[in-house]
Structure 1
């Protein structure tokens, strides 16, 4: 069970209420990276209305159905930036789907519309991870898989 008092799901090191909650409550994200982090947290929390609202209308799907078999465990921001009303975030997001692990890596594009950053599109790639019980857990804890998220 996710305890939001333990820290924001995006991994910023801040509490949820100091990090992604303001965006989820309607405040505009100040940067493309802040929007990316809030969208990642929204995926974890099942906030599909927020995900759709923060998606550019030209590329937004008509609906989103959360995948209950996917458990997102780690977000790494590799690079981000903005120039005028255009921005980008290069990130890696690690997930577990049943017994399988994967890393989604994407360079996302963002656009500022009417003062609000919105997700435009991205170029994703998925890499499957093959882990042994003694490998370091991909969740970022630094512990072995068998002592952390397990293999089963």
Structure 2
């Protein structure tokens, strides 16, 4: 889960795609391209500012094996509940999801169930949620790729 979050932060679309359950990868080339485009559109439109893992579980393993050792046992499944926070425009969004992962030589994302959360509007004079310590209107760290701030040089 953390590696996929990092890939979204770094806009590594190919990694995100390759870590989905291989059944998704057997789509037609057009369907694959469309899915990659959707992933890229989202990753390029937002700036991620935090990930909190709220719960996790793994099946087909004992409580003492709930670690990286679980990956050595084929057929394992796991779930991760998390909240990813990101900035989109002047809103702080929270994406809460319970994701299901399947192990088949490596961990693959299988599916997720989203839990909606209301967006919070970020005021121009509020501290930027990206952690820069600047006011939102002066912070450029949170801008999505290829975006130009309309607030540059203004107080």
TM-score range, shorter chain: 0.5 to 0.7
Task: For residue 142 of structure 1, report the CA deviation from its aligned partner.
Answer: 10
Alpha-carbon distance change, 149 to 73 in structure 1, aligned in 2, over 3 angstroms:
farther
Q: What root-mean-square deviation, in Å, do the aligned CA atoms of Structure 1 and Structure 2 show?
A: 2.8
CA deviation string 1:45-64 (max 9, x = no partner): 11111111110023456132
CA deviation string 1:37-96 (max 9, x = no partner): 000000111111111111002345613231322111111111112112010100000111
Gaps of 5+ in 1: 1-35
Alignment match, 1:109:
100
CA deviation string 1:24-46 (max 9, x = no partner): xxxxxxxxxxxx00000001111
Gaps of 5+ in 2: 26-30, 61-75, 143-150
Which protein has the bigger helix share?
Answer: 2
- For the 8 Å contact 1:133–1:144, the answer to whether it is kept is no
- For the 8 Å contact 1:94–1:138, the answer to whether it is kept is no
With the length of structure 2 as denominator, give the TM-score of the two structures: 0.61
Q: Whole-Å Cα distance in 1 between the matches of residues 138 and 89 of structure 2? A: 15
Alpha-carbon distance change, 148 to 81 in structure 1, aligned in 2, over 3 angstroms:
farther
With the length of structure 1 as denominator, give the TM-score of the two structures: 0.62
CA deviation string 1:87-116 (max 9, x = no partner): 010000011112222100000000011x21
Alpha-carbon distance change, 71 to 123 in structure 1, aligned in 2, over 3 angstroms:
same
Number of residues of Structure 1 aligned to a counterpart in Structure 2? 115
Runs of 4 or more, structure 1, over 2 Å off, are 57-61, 130-139, 141-152
Alignment match, 1:38:
3
- For the 8 Å contact 1:94–1:103, the answer to whether it is kept is yes
Deviates more, 1:103-112 or 1:62-71: 62-71
- For the 8 Å contact 1:75–1:92, the answer to whether it is kept is yes
3-state SS of paired residue (1:90): strand
- Give the structure with higher Rg (CA): 2
